Amino acid sequence: MAKNNFMSAMMKADLPKSMYSQDEKIKKELIVLEKLKKFIPPLAPDERTQLEQNILAFGCKDPLIVWETKQSAINPEAPNPDEVCYVLIDGHNRHEICQKFGLDFRVNLIEIPTFEQAQDFMIDHQLGRRNLSVEQMAYLRGMKYLALKQERENQELTRDKSGKFKSQENEVNNRGGQSDRDGNLDSENRSGHFDHHGKKEKLSEQLAKEFNVGEKTIRRDADFAKGLEMLPNNIKNEVLQGKSNLNKADIIEVGKTKDSNLAQEKVNQLVSSTVIKPEKKEKQSKDKVLGVLKSYLTTAEECDALITEIERIKQSISSLT
């Protein structure tokens, strides 16, 4: 009887939610934002196939990184701005594969104050990896520059509205900043860090030191990133994978073009001239065949049997010529 009473009391008690149920809730409500997903370098077909096979064989070993935030951080017009939401910021390819095959995965929650800082985190996380192409590194450095520049401009706008800053003319005179052709302060000089001599550093100078490249490289990267963002996704991915015939200088030129109509004309010209080089097309075909083979061959015996069959087909073809 005592045992029954104990079990009955346990059933009636208000037990706290388990960590397991919280994880399941996060997985069900996980949000994938395209404007953040773009910072994840695209996988080549053979890389995607290999990752898929690894996950099917061993499971999703590394946890997906999830940003715990409020709806207002990802959508200023959200009807419930204070509602908590969960945004995927690393592990997009693994998440897609797990969803495709109904596999479980783990999550690692992190808190980041703003959307801009979430972008910054993603870019730094990707740049910390060793398998990036030259194009991917330039794109990510450029996107970091553009994101930080936008964040500074937003901060300046907020401060201007609060009346904490003097007039623009006084800002230029007192702080030694430079105006652009429209009379606006150069956003690089309006806020930021100071070097050890007390001189204000431009954003491009800061990032150049961070990534151990020249300041002009950072500015070119920014124009390259702007130009890439204007291209269709499939062409953008080909450029980042090194499979496009587009010239990097032409893409930079698009990013540097201030007139939006002229920039779009240049984009259209680039798109119409896009072709995959024959040698790269041949490599893509080989990668596709290898990817299919890897998905079906699981043992050494199956590989030997396939080699034997290929030799038989080769002999048959030779006998016909």
| pLDDT band for position 306 (cuts 50, 70, 90) | confident
Confidence at residue 163, expressed as pLDDT on a 0 to 100 scale: 60
pLDDT in tens, 81-133: 999 999 999 999 999 999 999 999 999 999 999 898 899 899 999 988 877 88
How many angstroms separate the CA atoms of 156 and 153, rounded? 5
Q: Inform me whether the pLDDT recorded for 176 exceeds 80.
A: no
Handedness of CA 206, 208, 214, 220 (dihedral sign): negative
Q: Taking Cα atoms as reference points, which of 126, 123, 90 lies closest to residue 109?
A: 90
| pLDDT band for position 169 (cuts 50, 70, 90) | very low
pLDDT in tens, 204-261: 999 999 999 999 999 999 999 999 999 999 899 889 988 888 999 999 999 999 999 9
pLDDT in tens, 44-84: 888 899 999 999 999 999 999 999 999 999 998 999 999 99
Q: Residue 298 CB: number of other CB atoms within 10 A?
A: 11
pLDDT in tens, 180-220: 433 333 445 444 454 544 456 899 999 999 999 999 999 99
The answer to whether 206 and 245 are in contact (CB under 8 A) is no
The answer to whether 275 and 238 are in contact (CB under 8 A) is no
**Which structural domains are found in the chain, ordered by start?**
23-131 (3.90.1530), 132-164+185-280 (no CATH)
Confidence at residue 245, expressed as pLDDT on a 0 to 100 scale: 87
pLDDT in tens, 271-284: 988 765 555 555 55
Burial of 5 (0-12, 13-18, 19+ CB in 10 A): exposed
pTM of the model: 0.65
Q: Indicate the range of 1-15, 99-113, 148-162 predicted with least confidence.
A: 1-15
Which parts of 19-133 fold into alpha helices (H)?
Answer: 19-29, 34-37, 45-58, 71-74, 92-101, 115-127
CB proximity list for 115: less than 8 A, separation 6 or greater: 73, 74
pLDDT in tens, 157-168: 776 666 654 444
